[in-house]
Structure 1
Amino acid sequence: MRKLLLLSLAIASPLAFAGPQCSTAEQSQWQDQTKFQENLKAEGYEIKKFKVTAGNCYEIYGWNKDKQKVEIYFDPVSGKAVKSEID
């Protein structure tokens, strides 16, 4: 019984920390990654890390124009923020 519980927790754990689902559109419809990052930088963001998530999001780690630490998930088609965390 204990092994079953541990196995269940191990399988469910990654799901608990999964990010949002941002898009179901084909990647051919997504904004160009380089241009997207350049636009964010022009808005005052400093990007430490940029990645594409399993939920089809553009995710950035860095700082906003107010120098606050941020983690933001963007819809790669519309460019709108889907989820954000500011420290």
Structure 2
Amino acid sequence: MRKLIPLAIAAAAIAVLPSSPASATGAIKCQAGPQSGWKTQDVLKAKLVKEGWTVRKSKVDGGCYEVYGTTPEGDRVEAYFHPVSLEKLYVSRRGEVLFRKPGY
């Protein structure tokens, strides 16, 4: 019985604690305006393929295009691009920053 009381108190304390809301995992935030002014992800993919990238997945994150793929040098990376200009903003490999545009 004595062992159950601390367990019950801990369970009650956890139940009362406020949970934190889920947040975007994006390393970069873009102030790109309304999506109606953005170029499509397909245009970005075509541009990257032309440059020698292999694109596995792309999505919108933090108002930017986030791309998972392989660079022409063979690095498997996570990269962020501005959705209007398609400018490269950030590239990382397993937590190591390979490129970061100043100001981002």
Structure 2: gaps of 5 or more residues: 1-11, 95-104
By percentage of residues, which structure has more helix? Answer: 1
Report how many residues are paired. 82
1:5 positional shift: 8.7
In the TM superposition, what are the counterparts of 1:1-87 in structure 2 within 5 Å? 2-3=13-14, 7=18, 10-11=19-20, 14-15=22-23, 18-19=25-26, 20-53=28-61, 55-87=62-94
- Structure 1: which 5+ residue stretches go unaligned? none
Structure 1 residue identity aligned to 2:53: Y
- Percent identical pairs in the alignment equals 32
Q: Single out whichever of 30-39 and 63-72 deviates more from structure 2.
A: 30-39
Deviation sequence 1:33-74 (CA, Å, 0-9, x none): 211110110001100111112x11111101000111110011
Higher relative contact order (CA 8 A, sep 6+): 1
Q: Tell me, in whole angstroms, the C-alpha distance in 2 between the residues paired with 1:61 and 1:52.
A: 12
Which runs of 4 or more aligned residues in structure 1 lie more than 6 Å from their structure 2 counterparts after TM superposition? none
In structure 2, C-alpha distance between the alignment counterparts of 1:33 and 1:83, rounded to whole Å: 17
Q: TM-score, normalised by structure 1?
A: 0.76
**TM norm structure 2:** 0.65
Moved more, 76-85 or 64-73: 76-85
Structure 1 residues 2, 45: CA separation in 2 closer, same or farther (over 3 Å shift)? same
